[in-house]
Structure 1
Amino acid sequence: MARRQIVLDTETTGIDPKQGHRIIEIGCVELVNRRLTGNNFHVYINPQRSIEEEAIDVHGITNEFLRDKPLFHQVAEEFFEYIKGAELVIHNAPFDVGHMDNEFALLNQHHPKTHAFCQVLDTLKMARDLHPGQKNNLDALCRRYDVDNTKRTLHGALLDAEILADVYLAMTGGQVKLNLNQNKDDSSEHQQGGIRRLNSDRAPLVVLRASEAEHAAHEARLDLVNQEGGQCLWRAE
């Protein structure tokens, strides 16, 4: 059975929906069996209230830009049908889900909470479990998993969802590449598999051999192991 996941992000007028803050942007990226399908969902929403200056500094979305955008009730059904039954992949899920639940509750249609019709996977919790004591915001995860986020000068729901999709696939896809070439001279070519080849004209390695005293000390230690009933692999026939 195909596994459908929706990587989701929102932008809002402020932090707390209990203080009347609203969603102003929703960005979703669809994964089916861990493959991007291109069936994305993106919408800007007129919140019918002002956006806090601190929020504008984060996402750059202004009140003027949203004046002609649809209200949430005009996109709610399409959004609901898009995410229904999927597993939502969200970074810091309680924030986004809390705002989503608030928006649906404001419709006065006895709409169920998000957890009733979607599974929710919180990648922030996953990252904290994988990397305890480290920074686990999206920018830090991009650096850790070598995901390109150079276009991310401001937060944006769709762009952040696309970046999070790459991060999530890297986090859950097994071993992360070791970046063995990261200190390599730019004039050198990358080798297959990230292996750095030594130059053939480099100086030969110096071989240091054990002295007679070191050999004697080693043999004495092996004798002691035998006396104590141990087994010396170096003397096994």
Structure 2
Amino acid sequence: MFWKKRNLPYRLNKQIPLNTLLEDMTFTVFDTETTGFAVSGGDRLIEIGAVQVKGLQMTEHTFQTYVNPDRDIPREIMDLTGIRQTHVKDAPRSLEAVNRFYQFVEDNQSQGWIGHYLAFDLMVLKKELQRWQHTCQEPIGVDTLDIIGYLNPSWDMRDLTHYARQFGANIYERHSALGDALTTASLFIELCYHLKYRNKQTLGDLLEAAGKNSGKTTSY
């Protein structure tokens, strides 16, 4: 039997002029925690955390939810994240949790997503939606790792803490989704100021630095 995917009702794919100043934009910086890294296999979402950045300043608008993964959390993940079965037992399942996150994004009129190793977090959301035969359009997304690679072509793959320290960003609770989102937001703001020093101040400049050709959106 073939299932037709249902589109979630959120309008996240805003068309934004590439000459829009970064200082005039609102971004959602987010992170996920999972039961492991094999999200294309059996690993599942267990937490989403996010914060809004507006005018290159971190706002008080944050989001956090645990997610019931319908499976046990491995001991090593509990040790890493501090998330226990008791945290997720009565938490929403993934479709409801992702819906709540998208509602947060839409309510705050976010114009783009930011993440550290963003491709992983997007894959997590994509796979959870696929499990429920749902889909949603993806807004403009930028990975802080790509901006770091532009600013420092000799960079090598390091963790979030390393780059936060290197660029003078604040470090919040690590390996919690909200804590990592806050750290990533602080890092993103510092990176934007480094871009500004190079006269890179617009959305188009940001996408160029991140190795993206345009602000076109995709569906997943």
TM-score by length of 2: 0.69
Is 1:103 equivalent to 2:104 in the alignment? no
Alignment equivalent of 1:170, drawn from 184, 190, 208: 190
Give the letter aligned to residue 165 of structure 1: A
Post-superposition, which runs of at least 4 consecutive aligned residues in structure 1 deviate over 3 A?
133-136
Is 1:45 equivalent to 2:70 in the alignment? no
Q: Secondary structure at the match of 1:61?
A: coil
Of structures 1 and 2, the larger Rg is shown by 1
Q: Following superposition of structure 1 onto structure 2, how do residues 202-217 of structure 1 map, counting pairs within 5 Å? A: none
Give the letter aligned to residue 21 of structure 1: D
**Structure-2 residue corresponding to 1:231:** none
**Structure-2 residue corresponding to 1:77:** 99
**Structure-2 residue corresponding to 1:11:** 33
Q: Greater RCO between the two (CA within 8 Å, min separation 6)?
A: 2
Q: Secondary structure at the match of 2:104?
A: helix
Asked if the contact 1:46–1:69 (Cα under 8 Å) also holds between the matched residues in 2, the reply is yes
**Structure-1 residue corresponding to 2:169:** 147
Shift of 1:40: 1.4
Per-residue CA shift, 1:60-103, capped at 9, x if unaligned? 21223211212122233222233356311000011110001011
Which residues of structure 2 form unaligned runs of 5+? 1-19, 197-220
Distance 1:76 1:146 in 2: 31
Q: Number of residue pairs matched?
A: 170
**Structure-1 residue corresponding to 2:209:** none
Give the letter aligned to residue 175 of structure 2: H
Distance 1:134 1:8 in 2: 22
Select the structure that is richer in strand. 2
Shift of 1:134: 4.1
Q: Following superposition of structure 1 onto structure 2, how do residues 1-237 of structure 1 map, counting pairs within 5 Å? A: 2-84=24-106, 86-109=111-134, 111-112=135-136, 116-131=137-152, 132-134=154-156, 136-149=158-171, 152=173, 154-174=174-194
Asked if the contact 1:5–1:89 (Cα under 8 Å) also holds between the matched residues in 2, the reply is yes
Per-residue CA shift, 1:100-158, capped at 9, x if unaligned? 1011112223x13xxx3311101112223323244542111122122342x53x41110
Identity of aligned residues (%): 26
Distance 1:145 1:123 in 2: 12
Distance 2:25 2:195 in 1: 22
Distance 1:14 1:175 in 2: 34
Distance 2:50 2:142 in 1: 14
Distance 1:174 1:18 in 2: 35
Q: Secondary structure at the match of 1:83?
A: helix
RMSD between aligned alpha carbons? Answer: 2.2
Which residues of structure 1 form unaligned runs of 5+? 177-237
Distance 2:165 2:95 in 1: 38
Give the letter aligned to residue 148 of structure 2: A
